[in-house]
Structure 1
Amino acid sequence: MAEPHKFKITELEEFLNNNEIPSVKKQPKTFLEIARQPHYENVISNIYAFYFDPHEEYGLGHLFINSFIECIKEQMQQVENFLDDFQEFVIETEYGTEEKGRIDLFLYNDEQAILIENKIYHHLANNLDDYWNTATKEVKTKNIVGVLLTLGKQSGNLHQNFVNVLHLDFLKAVMSNIGNHLMEASEKYFTFLKDLYQNIENMSTKLLSSDDFKFYIENQDKILDTVKFNDQAKDHIKTQIVNAWDNQPNLEVKSATLNTKQFYKYREIQKEGVDKIYFSVYFDKLLAGQKEIWVNIFLTSEYMDFYNHSEILEIIRQYPSIEGYNKRNEKEGWVFLCGKTYNLNNDQITDLQNTVEGFIKNDKFAELFDELEIKLKTLNEQRQGVENSSIDELEN
């Protein structure tokens, strides 16, 4: 039985020094992704239907249909005048077929027609014979074509009356031909179009190029070692920060549940016997290589009401190295009252526990916390006394 693979720091260092790790290409997030509908075929079909209509208010005229016909001709290697005068037509989505199927997009007039089966991630399982028979009965002409619109090239045999056009090739043709239309185009709908293009590009583009994936396969052991080492380093960072706070008198770091945002981003620190004012330390940027941590004091419950009280603000002003925030979140029930961001050098990160303990001591966070806690408790008691007096007066 082979021994399990073990990595050595020297080997890992040599590998990293002698190889350029491919950078991760982050794709811009689109509005459709924000709405969690980037890959819904009916949503994309409805957007296409809007832009196919030359009479809509976007101001791009026949740009979409002309660009689409250009892509069709390229696949058909068809004569030049095929669909050249396809200018006035009806656009229907989810067009019913004889066998109770649905044509995603049906563009037609008395003499010409284009039927489109729109596929994003789903495989082709539709009855294209049914689609074709329905379309040819509606439009009795030879100037008709079926289009299978997909993200990637269709594998296997395709229906003889259909051609395969890629979403990205289609929208590239649109963007290539848009120059003459920009003066008349609506800025709003041009922005929507660019977002649609980005959405299709995101879905069509491989996360890794062939060369990058080949690099991964050839160096998989070393890369996995690097990932393990990175995970160990992150755990070390979190442990060092937790230890620094646990070493402070009367303070305890609250445990964080695995796979929660808190586990990977920050820790909360509680003072014994106090449950409405806390410390928190954010280390997520340090884990991401930005060499930064953020320490703050935040309020919850009824203490939130005093976040901008003049006496509270005056106490914070007595600690010039600490910045006041007054960032209130009613929904989640907290106020970031004050804190400080620390940019670290390599030596400070190497000795992280002592570094963090030094920040706490030098900027007098514990002293500020105690002053604030006492004042907040006093203000809250005073308010409760006033409220009780008002109730007594009403009862009398």
Structure 2
Amino acid sequence: MIETSDFLNSIKYGSIVFPEVKESPITFLGIAKQPHYEDVWSNIYAFYFDVNAEHGMRNLFIDALLSNIAKHDSQFEFDFNFNIIREYSTENKGRIDLLLKSHKEAIIIENKVNHILNNDLNDYWQSVESPSKIGIVLTLNRVLNVPHPQFINITHLELMQSVMQQLGGYIIGSNPKFITFLTDFYQNIINLSTTMDTQNIKLFYNYNSEIVKVVELQQNVKQHIKSEVKKAAELIGLKNYTLGGANEDRFSYYVSSRNNNLLYTILFEKLLSPERELMIIVELQNDLLKDREQYKSIDFDNSERALMKEEAFYGGKERYAHFALQIFHLENADIENLSGYIARKINESKLKCIFEKIEAIVPVRQ
């Protein structure tokens, strides 16, 4: 097992390389909080399978589907003069997600995203009368054993990759708007289909003990920062107040003894980043924002105004507003004695002058 310091140095100087973890691009379905809804996907598929629909891509989707079917059944043929039926009723009161049916052929599609495959595929098969038919279980992940001999498994990604590979031949005459939607849908499927890289998994388990120690070290540093931020409030004689939940790891308030809607906001979340950034803010909330114009009568000097966010403050309508702020970049020694650093910076900064001038004109409210 590598010592924690040696492990970190190996990463820093490149002898152990961790691949960059990239966030998945956001999609319209992701924004709508519907990235994995099967009904939504089935409706999108139904639209694009329609060769006469407004998208103008004609038989792109059915061609892509047939190219995937051919890998399992090279003899299956399909007439492009077909109907698309959503939620086709079966004999046992089931519902087929998508049925593509021509005069002599049928494609039965069971669409699965995150749900398990527990559908009565035999009922689906028996409920569709056609001289030539095939069943497809469309899934995110590969299904090794489809529980019906006439059904094959195609993944959403396989289908959409075929669509995108063939798209170039259908661009002319297609509607650009629906190409954009199609590309976004493809990205949505990539987002849900792509699992963690094998190399990342291997690295994690190869260096599991060392990684656990690093995570523990980070938590200890975070706890030290939070404790020091709280202690600094005592040093300057103000009450410390912290919101619960995730915000507890982001910022803390020092509350005015005269009016509890006047505060210093100590934003410390970036102290854990390489920038080691600390932001101290003079913040007003609630009743102190009912008449923002009153603060224009306060005599601030130029050095104080340089810290003020007047345009945002006077133009805002929220229940809280940042009146002034200052950003500090700390050294290791500063973080070691963070409480003293914060207390000193507040006492030395023009932020304190701004805070006290506002405090002098606001009503008492505790």
TM over 0.5: yes
**Residue 67 of structure 1 contacts residue 177 of structure 1 at CA under 8 Å; is this kept in 2?**
yes
Name the counterpart of 2:201: 213
Which of 163-172 and 54-63 deviates more?
54-63
Over 6 Å off, 4+ runs: none
Aligned in 2, Cα 1:357/1:188: closer, same or farther, shift over 3 Å? farther
Q: Deviations over 1:229-287 (max 9, x none)?
A: 11111112222333333321x32211443xx1320211111021312211112122333
Residue identity in the other structure for 1:43: V
Name the counterpart of 2:64: 67
Name the counterpart of 1:389: none
Is 1:232 matched up with 2:220?
Answer: yes
| Percent identity of equivalent pairs | 29
Aligned in 2, Cα 1:242/1:118: closer, same or farther, shift over 3 Å? same
Name the counterpart of 1:34: 31
Name the counterpart of 1:368: 354
CA distance in 2, matches of 1:103, 1:215: 43
Is 1:253 matched up with 2:253?
Answer: no
Q: Deviations over 1:30-77 (max 9, x none)?
A: 22223222222111111111111122222322212211111111232x
Q: Could you tell me how far 1:348 is from its partner in structure 2?
A: 4.6
Pairing 1:289-308 to 2, within 5 Å after superposition: 289-308=274-293
CA distance in 1, matches of 2:229, 2:182: 47
Alignment counterpart, residue 183 of structure 2, candidates 179, 194, 209: 194
CA distance in 2, matches of 1:290, 1:42: 46
- Secondary structure of 1:165's counterpart equals strand
Q: How many residues align?
A: 360
Q: Could you tell me how far 1:374 is from its partner in structure 2?
A: 2.3
Aligned in 2, Cα 1:146/1:19: closer, same or farther, shift over 3 Å? same
CA distance in 2, matches of 1:192, 1:344: 46
CA distance in 2, matches of 1:172, 1:312: 65
Q: Using CA pairs below 8 Å that are at least 6 residues apart, which structure has the higher relative contact order?
A: 2
Pairing 1:1-396 to 2, within 5 Å after superposition: 9-13=4-8, 16=11, 18-76=15-73, 78-79=74-75, 82-83=77-78, 86-135=79-128, 137=129, 140-142=130-132, 144-206=133-195, 208-248=196-236, 250-257=237-244, 260-309=245-294, 311=296, 315=300, 319-324=304-309, 325-326=312-313, 328-330=316-318, 333-344=319-330, 348-349=334-335, 352-377=338-363
- Secondary structure of 1:357's counterpart equals helix
**Residue 294 of structure 1 contacts residue 341 of structure 1 at CA under 8 Å; is this kept in 2?**
yes
CA distance in 2, matches of 1:106, 1:313: 73
* Cα RMSD, aligned residues only: 2.7
Using structure 2 for the length normalisation, give the TM-score.
0.88
Residue identity in the other structure for 1:71: N
Residue identity in the other structure for 2:48: Y
Residue identity in the other structure for 2:234: D
**Residue 4 of structure 2 contacts residue 214 of structure 2 at CA under 8 Å; is this kept in 1?**
no
Which of 45-54 and 292-301 deviates more?
292-301
Aligned in 2, Cα 1:340/1:266: closer, same or farther, shift over 3 Å? same
Which of 30-39 and 109-118 deviates more?
30-39
CA distance in 2, matches of 1:91, 1:232: 59
CA distance in 1, matches of 2:160, 2:255: 55
- Secondary structure of 1:315's counterpart equals coil
CA distance in 2, matches of 1:100, 1:53: 26
Q: Deviations over 1:111-139 (max 9, x none)?
A: 2221100111222111111111111x2xx
CA distance in 2, matches of 1:165, 1:310: 66
**Residue 321 of structure 1 contacts residue 363 of structure 1 at CA under 8 Å; is this kept in 2?**
no
**Residue 30 of structure 2 contacts residue 188 of structure 2 at CA under 8 Å; is this kept in 1?**
yes
Q: Which ranges in structure 1 are unaligned for 5 or more consecutive residues?
A: 381-396
Q: Could you tell me how far 1:149 is from its partner in structure 2?
A: 0.3
- Secondary structure of 1:117's counterpart equals strand
Aligned in 2, Cα 1:105/1:352: closer, same or farther, shift over 3 Å? same
Q: Could you tell me how far 1:15 is from its partner in structure 2?
A: 5.5
**Residue 87 of structure 2 contacts residue 96 of structure 2 at CA under 8 Å; is this kept in 1?**
yes
- Secondary structure of 2:300's counterpart equals helix
CA distance in 1, matches of 2:329, 2:317: 26
